[in-house]
Amino acid sequence: MGALRLATGRADGLRAMETTLDGAARSFWAAAICLPPFLALRLLGEDAPFTARALSAELAGYVIGWTAFPLLARRMAIAGGRGLRWPLFVAAWNWCNVVQYATLVLLSLASALGLPAGLATLLSLAILGYALWLGWFLTRHALALDGFNAIGFVLIDIATGILVSQAVAALSR
């Protein structure tokens, strides 16, 4: 419920998030929840992996994608004097990823049902903008950062995702 409140711009959604290291660890159940939609999106997409090697690379990338950024964010939070708030941040980040996967699934369903290509592209851009905003919003509030410093976390998240995607593509060949 906290992720839904955050997803609609309500910082009080953080009150529903766990603030301990154990709570942060439990929030990685979000990755298990998102695995079926991830597989469906990857296997049904235009660039679907059709070999065991490609699927293995996708799964490895999935695991790395869920763990690399939180570990980098921990170092950044500690360096910025926000280490004690990192478990809250990770819990919020993980659970908000479930919301983001839900929006991607809805877009994919709409596209499969005949959504015009131009509208699908526009919605994809809107979802990307929303994901960037949500990452910034939850980072700003969970780590108690100003807006500018929260952008740094979002940029590292994007860079990590790009690196993981490139590694998956290279391993898939």
pLDDT of amino acid 109: 84
**In the predicted model, is pLDDT for residue 50 greater than 80?**
no
Output the pTM of the full model: 0.91
- The answer to whether residue 144 scores a pLDDT higher than 70 is yes
Summarize pLDDT for 106-142 with one digit per residue, the tens: 888 888 788 898 898 898 899 999 999 999 999 999 9
The distance from CA 47 to its chain's CA centroid, rounded to whole angstroms, is 20
User: 145-148 long-range contacts, Cβ below 8 Å, gap at least 24?
Assistant: 145/80, 145/82
**How much is the pLDDT for 115?**
84
pLDDT tens string 71-81? 999 999 999 99
Tokens in use for 52? Answer: 């065991």
Compute the half-sphere exposure of residue 131: CA atoms within 13 Å on the CB side of its CA. Answer: 19
Chain-centroid distance, C-alpha 95: 9
Residue with tokens 């500690």: 78
pLDDT at 61: 95
Cβ atoms 77, 160 nearer than 8 A: no
Check residue 122 and report its DSSP letter: H
Asked whether residue 96 carries a pLDDT value surpassing 90, the answer given is yes
